Amino acid sequence: MTVTDPADVHIPDPGFGPNDDLRHWPAEPGGRMRDSLFWEMIMPDERLGLQVYLYLTAHGKTGYNVSIWGPDSQPLALDLGGGEVADDVDFDDFRIDGLHVRQPELRRTAEVTYESEKVRLEYRFEAVQDAFSYRSNPDGLPEWFAANRLEQTGRVSGFLEVAGRRIEWDRRMGHRDHSWGNRDWGVPHHWKWFVAYTDSGQAVNGWIWIAGGEWGFAGSVLRNGVTIPVSHIEHHATYHDDMSQKRLEATLVDTAGGRTEVTFDRYGLVKLPTNDKMATEIWESACDATIDGEPAAGQWETHWPREYLNHLVASRNR
């Protein structure tokens, strides 16, 4: 589908304020609040996936993971860290351990650097679209997931050093998100989150969830520089015997009536530690992808409650 005039596309108010890429605070003193920020890049030509995830609560508890993985059974790096930070620490200039995050221009640019015994990373992000909120989708953003969430694709410059390799980026495509609010991990039965992008600048972002017996869809399509909200997503997934991702075929139907075909074929997988009381499993796959037949890089995430996941695996292997 091609959209030539951005004025033809209506995007409902995302609910962002001028400072909503910074730290959030609870409505009442002593209440709960949690921010989570995420940056990623999938590199099919290198057979690698990369993501950096950071969270911070209103009480100053923070944690992060830096994950780099490929076709092997074990990731090249899965660095975990965290601690406590003061109330005056914010995401315009945030440091913990070897991780440093700056946002020179909120909702447009970000700089993420990281250094450990295994990894050196410089990730400089420049948006190619306005930040998109799942509140702008017809199904909205469920309260159990977040108060609001921005998703944004951009160009990345910098480098990655890991396992004796150095990979340099010169405006290569990547993606970021930032959500805030308290998440109830026990409400969803399952979700699929995915992002894909092409060298030419086309991109899709999708989220398919089922919770409380209801389906919901979110995301957007970026075509020819125009962002279009998703109305719903037709999809079919196949899995390996351990229920890890194998292939996803999806059609994103947007609010302008367009249909965008995407595929994801996994070449790498990392299982992230969550340690939440609901025993949630979050699995990230790096994928060879296509957008309307054009080669793309893609990430496909699945969410499962562990007991249900174990039952599915046992049932498939009887």
pLDDT tens-digit profile of 35-53? 999 999 999 999 999 999 9
Contact 158, 123 (CB under 8 A): yes
pLDDT of residue 3: 47
pLDDT of residue 147: 97
pLDDT of residue 1: 45
pTM: 0.96
Q: Three-state DSSP class for 312?
A: helix
Domains of the chain: 15-316 (2.40.370.10)
Q: What are the tens digits of pLDDT across the range 132-191? A: 999 999 999 999 999 999 999 999 999 999 999 999 999 999 999 999 999 999 999 999
Low-confidence ranges of the chain (pLDDT < 50): 1-4
Q: What is the DSSP string of 87-150?
A: TT--TTEEEETTEEEE-SSTTTEEEEEEE-SSEEEEEEEEESS--EEGGGSTT---TTT-SEEE
Q: What is the DSSP string of 25-42?
A: --SSTT---EEEEEEEEE
Closest CA to 205 of 171, 229, 237, 234: 229
pLDDT of residue 7: 61
Burial class (CB in 10 A: 0-12, 13-18, 19+), 21: buried
Q: What is the DSSP string of 244-283?
A: -EEEEEEEEEETTS-EEEEEEEEEEEEEEP---TT-EEEE
Q: Which pairing describes strands 77-84 and 61-69: parallel, antiparallel, or unpaired?
A: antiparallel
Cβ of 314: how many Cβ atoms within 10 Å?
A: 9
CA-based end-to-end distance of the chain: 44
pLDDT of residue 278: 79
Closest CA to 306 of 276, 269, 270: 276
Could you give the CA distance from residue 223 to residue 203 in angstroms, rounded to a whole number? 7
pLDDT of residue 4: 43
pLDDT of residue 5: 58
Task: Name the strand (E) or helix (H) holding 315.
Answer: helix 306-316
